[in-house]
Structure 1
Amino acid sequence: MSKKSTVTHNPIPTRKGIQDTKIAPYVFIGPSLFFFILFTLYPVVYSLFLSFQTSEGGENVFVGLGNYIRLFQDSLFYESLFNTFIILLIQVPIMIGLALVLATVLHTGIQKAKGVLRVAFFTPTVTSLVAASIIFLLILNQDFGILNFLLTIIGIEHIPWLNDPIWAKVSLIMVTVWRWTGYNMIILLAGLQMIPKELYEAANIDGAGVVKRFFSITIPQLKPVMLFTTIMATIGTFQLFDEPFNLTGGGPINATTTVTMYLYENGFEYFDFGYASAIAYVVVLIIAVLSLIQFKIGDRG
């Protein structure tokens, strides 16, 4: 008597199984989407509505464009915006240029201890800003700071780093450059490593020197990365708050009050959240326009 062969078949998925398969992606993405809506999307939308309201007697009252009209008549807003632009125009080119030099040196000029130097240059980015601010308060102190002590050795009188409007801006730019140059250096270094070595070899065969190769190969190939770092540095400058808040408190005479710090004062010191929201959206618009201009200049280049 012959044995019957048994054939196993994969079970046909039921309608319930198919539905579970379709639902699974939404189950996994659901928590992230929920927190994104709760902590990002909702505050953005709510602050937009809040920018058209003001608080009267503890209740929010619709005032239309009143906050925006008040904003464009506010001299302190213009002063904070001017301070931010001054820091932007000086700090960003210095920071990106220094980051490019450091990245180039680490990429081609130094063969030993590259890892240690990368960590050393990047460390200020992850350093506690409160601790760094305390250190810089000691370094930049007009009377007993180590920087003024070193300057007196070479015959330069004490400089009021944090007590003079101009020198306070200089101090703020110095601290910002110190903190964020390493961050931009790492990004530019990654861009340098993506440039094909064959381009440099061909240029070297053609007799191009180091400077010629840098401006003919490195800069054009690195242009998208430099554009990215410049735009991110611009956005970061308009969000500058921690450094002036910890070092100067916005002084002296509002000389280092940035637009984000002015927003904070109106929102969390005067509790005028409607006006602070209006400032926030105007700043977003300014950043968008500056980013668009930088994109246009980058494409033209």
Structure 2
Amino acid sequence: MTALASRAAPAKATRVRRLPAMKVAPYLWVLPAVALFAIFKIYPIVWSFWLSLFRTDGALQTFAGAANYQRLVADPLFWTALRNTGVILVVQVPLMLAVAVALAVALNSPLLRFRGFIRLGFFLPMITGLVAYGLLFAVLLNPQSGLVNWVLGLAGIPPVPWLTDTLWARIALGLALTWHYTGYNAVIFLSRLQALPKDLYDAAAVDGAGGWHRFRHVTVPGLRPVILLTLVMSTIGTLQLFDEPYVLTNGGPDNSTLTVGLYLYNNGFRYLDFGYASAIAYALAVIIGILGIVQFRVLGERT
């Protein structure tokens, strides 16, 4: 009996010694990911806020407290950029999502042939590089030699100043954004449509509901969580909009397509005023957070 106890004792001691190592091992595995997140996410966020408290004078940086934020409130160019971004958010985003919903409903129709090929065709613009498709639209919409004006000329329509007129430049920017992102949102809506129970449509049809009423009372409520998702993502993307106005119009003409993201870039990397650019970034983050909360309050599920 004593011999058996003596042989069992080392095994028990070994288990006791290994127990702390087993608890620490999972944290060691996630440590590289946490370290990378801290270095490339947390540190830049904290440093950007610290940088927003400094004024840049050439190569000299002096502590200015909230001066950059006070300058932001009184900066008319910032408010112009915010207004331009708001116009895109209010006009282009709802139009794009409405077209995406209609496209998803059409792509979900059992009468459509070659559905896989057609879905791929609508999604392909999303995988096109931002700069590449911006250059593509710049060539197509060139007022002098663009393909679009050439086609309009064949129909007897005079050339349209797509990129040189304030109104048409905004329309051109909206067309480019709609072309690029509509198919992506349509695929998201389509995945939700395919998950909706067919029994709901059958019950609505038995009750005498027509196509429009089935869409209004079955499809739209079923798409509500995905509408919220795409709306929030589109809002964030629009408020951070940079590539398209930079490539298409560079913010012109007359700052009509200047967005907050482009204005931030100009201050940070063209004028090297990193303190003011950081203040713009934090103001933009606050605006995105407020709009996100409002959207979740209005469209979120209520229990």
Interval of TM-score (by shorter of Structure 1 and Structure 2): over 0.9
Deviates more, 1:107-116 or 1:204-213: 107-116
Name the SS for the 2:109 alignment partner: helix
Matches within 5 A, 1:87-166: 87-166=88-167
What does residue 5 of structure 1 align with? none
Q: Note the C-alpha offset of 1:299.
A: 4.2
Deviates most, 147-156 or 21-30: 147-156
Shift of 1:214: 0.4
Q: CA deviation at 1:197?
A: 1.2
* Aligned-partner SS, 2:253: coil
Match of 1:298 in 2: 299
SS at match of 1:55: strand
Which residue pairs with 1:4 in the alignment?
none
Q: What pairs with 1:195-274 in structure 2 (closer than 5 Å)? A: 195-274=196-275
Q: Structure 2-normalised TM-score?
A: 0.92
**Deviation of the 1:155 alpha carbon:** 2.3
TM-superposed CA distance for 1:187, in Å, is 1.1
* Contact in 1 for aligned 2:225/2:300 (Cα 8 Å): no
What is the TM-score with the length of structure 1 in the denominator? 0.93
SS in 2 for 1:79: helix
Secondary structure at the residue paired with 2:62?
Answer: strand
How far apart are the structure 1 equivalents of 2:46 and 2:252?
33
Name the Cα RMSD after superposition: 1.9
* Equivalent residue number for residue 66 of structure 2: 65
Name structure 1 gaps, 5 residues minimum.
Answer: 1-8
CA distance in 2, matches of 1:272, 1:144: 37
Other-structure match for 1:47: 48
Taking the aligned partners of 1:104 and 1:93, their CA distance within structure 2 comes to 17
Partner of 2:5: none
For the residues of structure 1 that align with 2:243 and 2:110, how far apart are their CA atoms?
35
In structure 1, C-alpha distance between the alignment counterparts of 2:111 and 2:36, rounded to whole Å: 45
Residue 19 of structure 1 aligns with which residue? 20
User: Are the counterparts in 1 of residues 228 and 300 from structure 2 also a CA contact under 8 Å?
Assistant: no
Distance, in Å, in 2 between the alignment partners of 1:145 and 1:154 is 15
Structure 1 position 53, deviation (Å): 1.2
Structure 1 residues 68, 110: closer, same or farther in 2, change over 3 A? farther
* Secondary structure of residue in 1 paired with 2:209: coil
State the Cα distance separating 1:110 from its structure 2 match. Answer: 4.3
Distance 1:135 1:92, change over 3 A: same
Deviation at 1:87, TM superposition (A): 1.1
> Aligned partners of 2:181 and 2:300: how far apart in 1?
26
> In 1, are the aligned partners of 2:134 and 2:243 still within 8 Å (CA)?
no
> What amino acid is aligned across from residue 94 of structure 2 in structure 1?
P
Partners of 1:132 and 1:214 in 2: how far apart? 34
- C-alpha separation in 2, matches of 1:133 and 1:241: 11
Report what 1:86 is aligned to. 87
> Structure 2: 5+ residue runs without aligned partners?
1-7
TM-superposed deviation, 1:60: 2.9
1:153 Cα shift? Answer: 2.4
